[in-house]
Amino acid sequence: MQHWDIHLQDPPSENEDNQKKKSLRQKISQSKLGTVLKFNKTPRLIIQDFEGLLEYSSIQSGDSLLSINKHVIDPRTTTAQDARSFMNECVEKEGVLNIVTENPHGEDVLINVTVIKPRRDMNYNELGLVVWNWPYLCVRQINEGSIFEHTPIQEMDQIAAINDIDCSKMRTKAFAQCVLELPVELTITLIRRKHRYTGSFK
């Protein structure tokens, strides 16, 4: 496998974070706005920097790390160093590395799923990710044994890009060609929109 590396940052300590936000939270919680806003109290590891194969991905410095090979990463039990070591274990033992990040400032969930193809010549059918246009390019099915099987990709997720190639007007045949021609590292950027009434992302 080609060279890759990633640098993670532990979230601020609870005391430090609370000192900065306590005053603001108190003001908002007492206002009408506070009744509709829900603060995410779950801390996240932060992507500081990356190099090698990951430079071809859509991961950006400042993104929150959500999961590695479908294992949710909780900084309350996993440090930045632990998470980095776990990435190495996934590559060595499973041969696949799935890194899921989130832009905390997005209104809809924007997910980057990064996988490493076991073989450079792996084609679309072997990928095990079935896509279709309905009407935009989206996930139709994830086959059993797919390298995407252990990622949080869900049916009907919209595929916004693959390795920064815009998929907004892409057809399924063009997507299959991209999979074949792109290098071993694949990053699929997905948009998961909130339900209009429930606010759920599922």
The predicted model scores a pTM of: 0.52
What phi and psi values does residue 108 have, to the nearest 5 degrees?
Answer: -95, 165
C-alpha distance from residue 113 to each of 16, 99, 190 (Å)? 31, 6, 8
Whole-number Å distance between alpha carbons of 167 and 164 = 9
pLDDT at 198: 43
pLDDT at 28: 40
Residues 40-82 have pLDDT tens digits of: 456 789 998 988 767 766 678 888 898 898 889 999 899 999 9
- Per DSSP, the three-state class of 88 is helix
Location of structure tokens 């041969």: 95
- Per DSSP, the three-state class of 5 is strand
Whole-number Å distance between alpha carbons of 184 and 162 = 13
